[in-house]
Structure 1
Amino acid sequence: MAGWEVRPSDPRRAGRVRLALLLLIVGVPLAFFAGAWWQARSTQAFMDEHEALQARLSEQARELDQLRQSLAVVSSGEKVAQQANEQSRLTIKLLEEQIFKQQQDLAFYKGVLAPASRREGLRIRAFELQATDKPRHFRYKLLLSRVGKDDKPLAGQIRVTVEGRRGGKDVSLELADLTRGLPDELSEPVIAFTFKHFQAIPEAGRFAELKLPEGFEPRQVRVRAEVKGEKPLERTFKWIDEE
């Protein structure tokens, strides 16, 4: 018969083709769903990591904010303390200046009203000592005056030493050496003075500071004053009881 072609039939080959088509039809959706599942899982893991990181950042931000607040409180407290200390310092300075002025006036009247029989000239009035809150640190002030009606300035020099014991031996230390490195450091052992009626060292009735060396036990302060043409004047003051 014209137009017809006879081909041999292979059932096994046809079966394999149908199986391949079936696998292709089923595999494509499975691959799609597998890819979608993996992407979703990866996205969730990324989101979880992002949320954990965000939580850590938030916690660190809170800690930083707390530290900043604490620092602000401390800074504010320090400013308040500094202001209070400065106000106290100014108040103390004002009171010391007022006391100094009153001592000047008192010394003047004592000198004018002193009996004529008393020897006129220089007087070592006082060597004031005060303990501080620092171990072996003390505040001091030396007061000089004169007796008599002479209005000419009285000039001279003084030398102050602190006497005591160290290492079982008597020791005498210069006041200048005990002020090294302190605000009112004395550059020389001898202190010059010139005044009419009253003189405070340091000036204006302020207190200066001295520091005793370790192992030194003070007993007294010796003040020696000299005025040209007059006999040297010397006076000792007992060291204060720190208790």
Structure 2
Amino acid sequence: MPGWEVRPSNRAQERRLRVALVALLVAVPLAFYAGSWWQARSTQQQALAFQETQVQAEAQARELDELRQRMAVLSSGEQLAQQSNEQSRLTIKLLEEQNFKQQQELAFYKGVLAPDSKVTGLLIRSFDVHATETAGVYRFKLMLSRIGKDDKPLQGRLNVQLEGSMGGKAKNLPLSQLSGDLPEGSTEKAIPFAFKHLQAIPDGGRLGELRIPEGFVPKRIRIKADVEGGKAVERQIEWTDG
């Protein structure tokens, strides 16, 4: 027929085209469903991972909270212990000061006012030392008194040395190097005193603080009193830190 063109048919090619078209039509929904399935699976895995992480975080939060509570209890216990120790320390110090005041009164009545005493002049009555809760730190009190009926004031200078050893060698340390609780005007070899009946160093019912260098082993305290217009008095006291 005029205007028509007849071409030979290629059935094999047409078949391949139809198969490809069908495959394409099938592949599109499969790809969609596969993508949806993968996305859902990925979302599920992420949800599981999130839940697992959340469980771990909650467990760690509980553990941290328990640890904080334990620390709070321990801290409270330490504070109570510190408060108790501080209260005990203050109580001990107060009792020591009260005891020393009583010793002063006894010295006054027994020594100063003893009418039958055959010894007159200055008496180095005591040098008391008490250990503290801090290593190498001690509290001390030196007490001087007068024996006899004379009311004339006694005055002079004290030389107080702490004898001991350090590094296996003998060593003496002046009290002025170990404590700042000494009368005004004290030097390495001279601690001034002046009293009528008795004197405590330090005064005011206080206890002095004495710091011993690390490695020093105290053995005794040697006290020499040079009295103006009188005889020198010397006393040696063995070291005790009870």
Structure 2 CA distance for aligned equivalents of residues 64 and 169 of structure 1: 56
Conserved? CA contact 1:99–1:205, under 8 Å: no
Could you report, residue by residue, the CA deviation over 1:42-95 in whole angstroms, capped at 9, with x for unpaired residues?
213322332333233223323322332222122111210121122112211221
* Cα 1:194–1:7 shift into 2, 3 Å: farther
Structure 2 CA distance for aligned equivalents of residues 18 and 185 of structure 1: 118
Structure 1 CA distance for aligned equivalents of residues 196 and 74 of structure 2: 51
Structure 1 CA distance for aligned equivalents of residues 161 and 57 of structure 2: 66
Comparing 221-230 with 107-116, which one deviates more in the overlay? 107-116
Opposite residue 44 of structure 1, the aligned amino acid is Q
1:238 aligned partner: 238
* Cα 1:29–1:50 shift into 2, 3 Å: same
| Aligned counterparts, 1:60-209, within 5 A | 60-115=60-115, 118-130=118-130, 138-149=138-149, 154-165=154-165, 170-179=170-179, 188-189=187-188, 190-203=190-203, 204-206=205-207, 208-209=209-210
Structure 1 CA distance for aligned equivalents of residues 182 and 111 of structure 2: 31
* Cα 1:94–1:138 shift into 2, 3 Å: closer
* Cα 1:65–1:184 shift into 2, 3 Å: farther
What secondary structure is seen at the aligned counterpart in 1 of 2:229?
coil
Gaps of 5+ in 2: none
Structure 1 CA distance for aligned equivalents of residues 142 and 75 of structure 2: 39
Comparing 22-31 with 91-100, which one deviates more in the overlay? 91-100
* Cα 1:26–1:177 shift into 2, 3 Å: same
Shift of 1:217: 4.9
Opposite residue 61 of structure 1, the aligned amino acid is A
Opposite residue 55 of structure 1, the aligned amino acid is V
Conserved? CA contact 2:137–2:209, under 8 Å: no
* Cα 1:192–1:222 shift into 2, 3 Å: same
Could you report, residue by residue, the CA deviation over 1:201-235 in whole angstroms, capped at 9, with x for unpaired residues?
23315253342552x55443211122322222111
Q: TM-score, normalised by structure 2?
A: 0.78
Structure 1 CA distance for aligned equivalents of residues 142 and 239 of structure 2: 14
CA RMSD in angstroms comes to: 3.4
Gaps of 5+ in 1: none
1:47 aligned partner: 47
Q: TM-score, normalised by structure 1?
A: 0.77
2:21 aligned partner: 21
* Cα 1:81–1:24 shift into 2, 3 Å: same
Conserved? CA contact 1:137–1:212, under 8 Å: no
Structure 1 CA distance for aligned equivalents of residues 87 and 193 of structure 2: 31
What secondary structure is seen at the aligned counterpart in 2 of 1:115?
coil
Opposite residue 193 of structure 1, the aligned amino acid is F
Shift of 1:125: 0.5
Conserved? CA contact 1:110–1:147, under 8 Å: no
